[in-house]
Chains A and B, each alone.
Chain A
């Protein structure tokens, strides 16, 4: 027991109020919560290995489906197998990263319904960080691994005249894509403040979006391609930069320089998603008791 009797006021001054950057505070809290869940996951290594492999295998089925298609046709929407694999791997890796970092936000609606969101609001960390880091699932590495493997295969086999710019495009595309998908997660979570059952809407943009991006834009209707270019900017995840890398024309006839926009689009979309999140949190009404 504490032998020196301090009052609550004194004790608080120990931890008094240095100003710290909110961004840094958020990242720090995220790291703390993630570390806790990872320690807990690693307590059961065998179980972790199995679920991670399961995640890898399940997501690999998507690519097997594509392989089977190519056993019947040589081209899909005018694209060869390595080209489709390129799109597939880039979308998969981007989405996998976003899913790992922000995937837990799809539980927000349930937290609102059962009232457990309240407990996050009384802790000294941003709510979004706590929601995103909750039950951090390292098994999602399976999806990322799978996406990167397919991407590696594509890069090894696809017929591209490489230039330094095109090489730099690959990491830029993966990272910007992950940020764009993360923003989709946040926007979807924000929507759940108004419609608590909206996790499905969120899933249709995240899981649905990534499935869409795994195929060449030429196989879809133009209106759909327009939608994911100008409304929800998913086309910037992989389509537009990848088309540039592969010297392909955009079906909408957009100029070449749009291929360099993904970082800007990602930043803009993050700002929009952040505002939506703040508006949602501000309007939060809590439950009855």
Chain B
């Protein structure tokens, strides 16, 4: 897990407490504190690609905002590339790239290329480097025809690709992606993932990715961190998460005709609808032997495999968890 002995991103006992005022009665306001992040510690080595997941309100975005210097931690120690984000925000900004899925960092009313030109100057990117990076992004993210279009006229998928390019023109050492594939169609998602994979492989860019899409994690990240109620509850490989969460994948088989539920070791039928049957099997197991056996024993017409969604994996994991808190940065 550790590429470098020293972490590139380091968090030690990070807390973020928000004062929330709530209306209690006509004029009276009640103050109470919300712990968005509660004693978070982890390390990410240079060149790692880490999935950062958890239910809504778990503290994912708050963590990213502290890592980028947008928010100040209430307690704890935080370093990114050796820099304290809160003290030296603008110095750090030259070395990181941020993509917020929900909102754009581009200049809304201006053509895409104007934003890139400004980034070029603002980050003092050497001309040659800028042109190389821009060409590369334009080619791989297929932005060629979009460069002269005002950002507000771009579709969500186009804008997201434009945002990713803007975040990478200055060769950031670390890239934070907050829901980068949210609302994208299948083709755009695949394109974005491929691009990120190449980026990480070729430039060793460290990537921290929050997402609701388990496929993002599966295809990109060797390591997953799960956060819940501001605490780290899992840190390890995705397969381990499936084991801990006892998550199941689903094999959907279409048979030639209606038959009684398929009987097969290692899988159980959860639903039958005419000739179609749904079989659940552990996510950590391979689907291939199951498929082979079904094909051998039953009149099989068609089949597909469905991945478990991230919420149900996490929900199952959280409901089964009996480990005393706080969980350290080791796989449970």
Contacts and interface: CB of A to CB of B under 8 A. Distances in A.
Contacts of B123: 15, 124
Contacts of A118: 65, 70, 100, 103
Contacts of B38: none
B117 A36 contact: yes
B195 to A, nearest CB: 12
Contacts of B135: 1
B96 A122 contact: yes
A128 B133 CA distance: 29
Given A1-B135, A118-B100, A124-B94, A8 B203 contact: yes
Interface in B107-147: 107, 109-110, 114, 117-118, 121-126, 129, 132-133, 135-136, 139-140
A6 interface: yes
Contact of A119 (B90, B105, B140): B105
B203 A125 contact: no
Contacts of B72: 282
Interface residues of A, number: 37
Contact of A5 (B68, B70, B202): B202
Contacts of B211: none
Given A32-B121, A123-B93, A124-B94, A7 B110 contact: no
Interface string B44-75: 00100000000000000100010011111000
A12 B103 contact: no
Contact of B122 (A7, A32, A121): A32
Given A118-B103, A286-B71, A124 B122 contact: yes
A46 interface: no
B194 to A, nearest CB: 14
B98 A122 contact: yes
Contacts of B203: 5-8, 11
A288 B62 CA distance: 8
Contact of A2 (B114, B124, B133): B133
B110 A122 contact: no
A228 to B, nearest CB: 33
Contacts of B174: 8
Given A1-B136, A8-B172, A122 B105 contact: yes
B18 interface: yes
B143 to A, nearest CB: 14
A182 to B, nearest CB: 22
A289 B102 contact: yes
- Closest A-B pairs by Cβ, 6 of them: A11-B171, A124-B93, A2-B132, A119-B105, A8-B173, A122-B98
16 contacts: A1-B132, A2-B132, A5-B202, A6-B171, A6-B203, A8-B171, A9-B46, A32-B122, A33-B118, A36-B107, A121-B69, A121-B89, A122-B105, A123-B105, A124-B90, A124-B93
Given A15-B170, A285-B71, A286-B70, 16 more contacts: A1-B135, A1-B136, A2-B132, A6-B171, A8-B206, A11-B203, A14-B171, A17-B91, A32-B118, A32-B121, A36-B107, A40-B109, A116-B103, A121-B70, A123-B122, A282-B72
Interface of A: 1-2, 5-9, 11-12, 14-15, 17, 25, 29, 32-33, 36, 39-40, 114-116, 118-119, 121-126, 135, 282, 284-286, 288-289
